[in-house]
Structure 1
Amino acid sequence: MGLQYRHILVAMDGSREAEWAFQKGIEIAKRNGARLLLVHVIDTRTFALMDAYDTVIGDRAEKLAKDMLERYQNQAVEAGLTDFQYEIGFGSPKILIPREIAKKHQVDLILCGATGMNVVERFFIGSVSEHITRYAPCDVLIVRTVKDTE
């Protein structure tokens, strides 16, 4: 069978590194004839403190995520990618992406940006990319650099 990826997931969090991961994801998907799945997880733990505004903020976050993912979808189509989908999850990104979403879509490669966190934040919560690497059921590519332009 060789090393061919069929279902590629890119974790999108709005960061510059996630943007780079998306660009690399397009290239890998095109080379492999694979499906590209973009995933954005709205971290609902951040709303827990706000209680009353919960649904308003949740709806707003979902609308922003949908707009972002549709912009990326247009870019993917312009780049010549035909097999594309996106998903918005609610919960903890570092748990949902590797443990649920990747399994549900039979993902064989996850790309995520090495998003910047300071040492203290990393010590207490651990980065999302670190968590994905530890719990993913498949290969993981942590993207640190912008894609080289041909």
Structure 2
Amino acid sequence: MYSKIVVAYDRSEDSEKALHQAVKLADLSKASIYLVHVAKESNKLSSQPATRIPYGTGSIGNEGHAGVPAPVPEQQNGVMIERSEGEAILREVKETLQHMGVNVHSEVRSGDPAKEIVDLAVMTEADLIIIGSRGLSGIKKWVLGSVSEKVAQQSPCPVLIVK
């Protein structure tokens, strides 16, 4: 049946339902579960106001251009915070599943959620991806699309979208 199942997990109600289905299927087929949490990328520029450098000082400081905010090192931006939170979330779930006897792996990635989920499925040679449906509708769905739709379109393996 299945030997490797990728599950997108972010602690939302929909991802909880997806995880529940994955555990059922993994139990039936003795499959391994690969949990993935995708950290949202934030603006790489500082939210601090631009520092004004006096004209003619001969130096423009760290900003690169006078009055332009400097890029923030990754450790200081929201991605690292989101990654840390994602790691904590997955650690907790992984421990619970391991106590239930499930063979589980976990990974936190950052970037486009659909791409990262599909990339993990390709890398692990997954047989199935299970993802929750957020239920976007109307203009939001048209403008943003849905992660689950993108995963289903790009996936090399079957995708189970759980509502």
Letter of the 1:128 partner, please give it.
V
**1:111 and 2:111 are equivalent in the alignment:** no
Paired residues in the alignment total: 138
Partner of 1:18: 15
Partner of 1:84: 104
Partner of 2:35: 38
Compute the displacement of 1:49 (Å): 5.5
Change (3 A) 1:119 1:54: farther
Partner of 1:136: 155
Compute the displacement of 1:58 (Å): 2.1
Deviations 1:38-92 (A, max 9, x none): 0011121x334655375322221111001100111122123221x2100111110
Compute the displacement of 1:14 (Å): 2.7
On the 8 A contact 1:47/1:54 being kept in 2, the answer is: no
| TM-score (normalizing by structure 1) | 0.84
Local SS of the residue matching 2:140: helix
- What is the percent sequence identity of the aligned residues? 28
* Counterpart Cα distance in 2 of 1:47 and 1:78: 39
Q: 2:94 aligns with which of 66, 69, 73?
A: 73
Partner of 1:148: none
Higher helix share: 1
* Counterpart Cα distance in 1 of 2:128 and 2:45: 35
Q: 5+ residue gaps in structure 2?
A: 47-70
Deviations 1:4-45 (A, max 9, x none): 10100001123101011111111111111111000011121x
Letter of the 2:82 partner, please give it.
A
Q: RMSD in angstroms over aligned alpha carbons?
A: 1.6
